[in-house]
Each structure stands twice: as C-alpha cells, then as structure tokens.
Structure 1
Amino acid sequence: MEINGIEIEDTYCEIFDGTCVRAIITADNQQIVERAAYDSTSTPGAVIGRVEGGVESFIDSYKTPDGRKGAMVQYWFGMDDLEKFEVELSYRIRQDILVKPFTSLFDATPEADGYIGMMKQVGHCGDGYEWEEELYGREIIIVPIAIPDFKIEKRLGYQKGFMGANFWYMCQTREAVIEAGQKALEAINKIEGVITPFDICSAASKPETNYPWIGPTTNHPYCPSLKPKLKEESLVPENANFIPEIVINGLNMESVEKAMQVGIEAACEVDGVTGISAGNYDGKLGKYKLHLKDLFKF
C-alpha cells in the first residue's frame, strides 16, 4: 500500500491501557497558560512509572469555567495504581501550575470512571490554611499563596484510555524529519481527545534491555548509525537515514485511529519521506494491535 508513492509497511503498532486525567488550566493571559500547560506536560514518563501528558488544545475564554484563557491538557499513567497516580500527578500540579501567577485547574474528563481527590496532595500546600468554596458551579479548593490564590477543583475525574499508538516515518534528510513531523503534529492536534506526549520522538525504544534499571533502551536494529556494525541484524531500510516516531495517546480508540490516519497522511506530503512503519514488539507490550493498512480504505 502506498500514499503519494510512499510505501506503508504491512505492520501494526501495539496499544496498551492507560488512565487519563483530562483538565483545564486557566490564567489571566495566554503566555502564563501556555507556560503552565507545556511545563506540566513536558516529560513523557509512563515507561518509567511516572506521569506523562500533553496539550490537547488551547481554548477560548468562553469555553472555560472561569471565563479566562485556557488549555485543555491530559495527564496519563500506565500503571494500575491510583494512589501512585495521585502522587505523581500532584508533582506536576504543584511544581508546574500552582507556582505560576493566577492559575487555576478544573476537571474536564468527559466520561469519568472515578475521581481523584486533590486535597491531600495539592490542597494541603496551604499548610492547613486552605479552604473550600463553591465557585463557577464547582467545588473548589482555595490554596493561599503569595500571589493570591491558587484554585483547583476538589476532585479531578479519571477515565480509562489508550496509550502508545505510534507510527514511524522514514526520512532521507534532516529537513524531512522536522517538516514531516510538524505537519503530522499539526494534523493530529485537530483531533479531539488525543495528545502526542513526545511530539517528534528521536528515540524509539524496546522492552528488552541489558540494563533493566534504566527501563526501555534503544531499539538498536533501527538505529542508522549502527547499521555498519549490525550488518544483517540491522532493520534500517536502504533509503532511510533517520527514523522518527510519533506516539499518540487517546481517550477512545476512534480518536486514536483518526489521529494515526491524518498524521501519516500529513507526513507523506513531504519530500524526503521514504516510508511509513510502526513500532511493535510481537504483541508483548500492548494487548491491542492497530494495523496500519486498516487505517486506509484504498
């Protein structure tokens, strides 16, 4: 199968279950909203037992609970441990959102499977002086701080979703890596309910490793610089000098599939892209398989 003359490999990516908190960050101006949103979602950490996130979209003031500038963000956790998720999420909120001037955080999970209370790990940053009010039709914790005050919804909803969908786009040039990646991300960002936690990712990994204390390490057969050393073991195509990856998490499978489709189509518009593939591990990582050929009806 081809798109614009670019071969789409007959392969699949693996997708695994995750838990997502979807929330709205607001602030008085766009710069602060963007900084809080990007800072709190900047470190993809699911593979090492931490939270990872992404900015789903920036939203107009008339769509936010308090009528201010806003960002729709997602925070994901790959382990079945809500208590640890609560702690890890609190680090992102406390260190990246609460500390920025005039910020607030509200629940935006569309179909919550349950709720995580925010008092224990975030509200008590008020050192016992925090209080609760009903504001904007929501139960809000007020955390007194030096630029008064941080507001956070008393409970943030969480729901099950899908993590780790991915595609690789083989490139001949450095320019194609960036241009195709940016085009793919722009297309994906138009799909509601998905994020790209790594944006353009340069380090595809594998679960098997010689150094288990690190976690996933480099997927060495796909490293172009190792091709001379690996010889027949190398899986780098002849016409590829770079193999970037786009990873997608989504609230539902339909959104993930659509994001994969539009991202691949956008990447295939760029000169220097020579092929599309995906990372999989023979079904060892994720229980869902998304075949690239099923994304397109030709």
Structure 2
Amino acid sequence: MKLEINGVPVEDTYCEAFDGIYSRLLITAKHRWLLKKAAYGSTALPSTVFGESEGGVEKFVSPEETPDGRQGAIIQIWVQKTKNFKDVLMRELGKRIRQGILVVPTTRLFNATQSENYIDAEINVGRCGDGYEWEEEMWGRKVIRIPIMFGEFIIERYLGYAEGIAGGNVWFFCESEEAALEAGEAAVEALKNMEGVITSFDICSAGSKPETKYPEIGPTTNHYYCPTLKGKIPDSKVPEGVKSIPEIVINGVNIEAVKKAMYVCLEVASKVDGVVKLSAGNYGGKLGQHKIYLKDIIEEYGE
C-alpha cells in the first residue's frame, strides 16, 4: 500500500526516540511581554547532547488557569535519563530559573508536573536570597518568597519531575527554503496548544548523525541529507529538486502525546505547496529506546 498524506508521499520509516526526564512548570507574570520574555528565555538553547538540558514552551494559559490569577505559560525542561539525572536536573533547573525567570520583573513560578517525585527548590533557587528568603503558604501551595531588588520572586518550593519521551521527529523534504519555512511554521503553530508536548528547536535546520570525524565537539551535520552536497558526494540521499529539509523535534509527557504530535506535523505540512516528501530521522535503531513508525501513526490518527 502506498503511504501518503493528502497526496504527499510518506517514507516507510521510523523516528528514534529516547527516554527522558522532564519538569513541567508554570510561569506567571503581571504583563504579557514579561511572561514571554521569561518563558522563551528560560527554555532557549537546547543542549542535552552536551549533558545539559533543553526546554520549550508548551502553551500559554489564561488567568483563570493559574494559582495567582495572572496570565501564565507552561514550560518543560528536559534532561537525559542517566544514572545521575536528578543531579543534572537540579543544576539545570536552578540555572534556567535563576537566569531566565527570576531576573524578569514580576514573575512567579509554580509546579505543573503530576508526579510523586519532587526537587526541593529551596536548595537551588531559594538560597539565592542569601538567607533572607522565607517560606509561606500562598494560593494553597508552599512557596518561597525571595527578596530581590525589584521586589520579590515567589517560587513553589517543591517542583515535580517525571519520565517522558524525547526526540520524536518528522522531516519535510521541500523544493525551496520558502516552502520549508512555511511547512515548519505551520507544524510548530499547530502544536502550540497541544497538551503535554514541546518543540525544543521549533524549526530545526541542522539534523545530526552519531558518527563523526570530530567526536570531541559532539554531533556533526547529517551530510547524507544536506542539499548543497548533492552531486558532490556519492552517497547523497537528497531527492532531485529538494533544496531544504527542516526537522521538527518533539518531546512529550508520554509516547501517545509524541505520536499524535508527529501526525499533526505531517498532516499540516502535507498541505503546503513545495513539500514533496515526508519522513523522519533515526540512527539505525542503535541509540533510542523507542521506534515510532510513520505507517503506524498514520493508521492510528489518519482519517
């Protein structure tokens, strides 16, 4: 059976996803521009491949959905599932909260993770009050009030973490950069209000591969799929006429959320003129704990 969506061919392949650990957090602020600054600033720079963290904005929420009655944003911060993941998560949360949220005027931070596992924010964030911070119960939650020069920063003391699925992905083979940007933007936009998922890179322009000539610097370009190398290397896998291949990388609180998000991306991209093929990236099954087959998600979520 020919695999396609809206007449666009879909490669019969799979994406390779990984077990990861995430913390789902709720930021609130007095004004929208401050909220966006904190949400996007604290989740920028994906760096899990370097043993650090990555994040993304899941969705923005109304004042009716927040503890303190102010507008909010739900974000996710992810680390790799390793033996010392809790130490890494503690360090990374502290870094991103203190440098990306606390320093933005009027912000507050609350737990939004449904889990029995928690990190004590008093250790990695609360103590930046230099001993002048104090604990109270506000909005039915235990919070730490940290005095700062602008006024104060309020953070819920116990921030949850849980296990999820990281690195789900889809690829769009496009006839031009313009088509690639349109398809990528449509995919990211379609996921903005989907529960439980983030796109840590939004439109990712540079997929990588595990083998490299320079292991000391980490992952390098996936040269098989670089359009500018077609005709210059004998093993190019870029089809004729393809000028750009964007990737959408998806993390989700469970594999069902990732699968649904992948299908949504494929479906919306298939409607963009200039998208000639849909696919996904993997590492030959060598690295990830999960294989998500495009054929399976099309059968499950397609009409």
The within-5 A match list for 1:92-241 is 92-110=96-114, 112-231=115-234, 233-241=235-243
Specify the SS of the correspondent of 2:180.
helix
Contact 1:221 1:234 in 2 (8 A): yes
Deviations 1:243-277 (A, max 9, x none): 10000000011111110011110000000001011
Cα distance in 2 for residues equivalent to 1:85 and 1:57: 22
Cα distance in 2 for residues equivalent to 1:205 and 1:86: 28
Specify the SS of the correspondent of 2:216.
coil
1:153 Cα offset (Å) = 0.7
Contact 1:188 1:260 in 2 (8 A): no
Contact 2:59 2:192 in 1 (8 A): yes
Cα distance in 2 for residues equivalent to 1:82 and 1:214: 25
Match of residue 82, structure 1, among 83, 86, 104: 86
1:225 Cα offset (Å) = 1.1
1:36 Cα offset (Å) = 0.2
Letter in 2 for 1:235: K
Letter in 2 for 1:251: V
Cα distance in 2 for residues equivalent to 1:45 and 1:55: 16
Letter in 2 for 1:15: A
Cα distance in 2 for residues equivalent to 1:130 and 1:273: 54
1:213 Cα offset (Å) = 2.1
Deviations 1:14-36 (A, max 9, x none): 01000010010001011100110
Cα distance in 1 for residues equivalent to 2:30 and 2:253: 28
Match of residue 9, structure 1, among 5, 8, 11: 11
Distance 1:79 1:212, change over 3 A: farther
Letter in 2 for 1:13: C
**TM-score for both structures, normalised by structure 2:** 0.96
Deviations 1:136-195 (A, max 9, x none): 111101111011100111110000000000010000011101111111112122321000
Cα distance in 2 for residues equivalent to 1:283 and 1:254: 20
Letter in 1 for 2:183: A
Contact 1:44 1:197 in 2 (8 A): yes
Specify the SS of the correspondent of 1:296.
helix
What percentage of aligned pairs have identical amino acids?
Answer: 55
- Deviating above 3 A after TM superposition, structure 1's stretches of 4 or more consecutive aligned residues are none
Specify the SS of the correspondent of 1:146.
coil
Letter in 2 for 1:173: S
Query: In structure 2, what is the equivalent of residue 19 of structure 1?
Result: 21
Match of residue 261, structure 1, among 260, 263, 283: 263
Structure 2: gaps (5+ residues): none
**TM-score for both structures, normalised by structure 1:** 0.97
How well do the aligned residues superpose, as a CA RMSD in angstroms? 1.0
1:113 Cα offset (Å) = 4.4
Specify the SS of the correspondent of 1:284.
coil
The within-5 A match list for 1:259-298 is 259-297=261-299
1:79 Cα offset (Å) = 3.6
Cα distance in 1 for residues equivalent to 2:64 and 2:162: 25
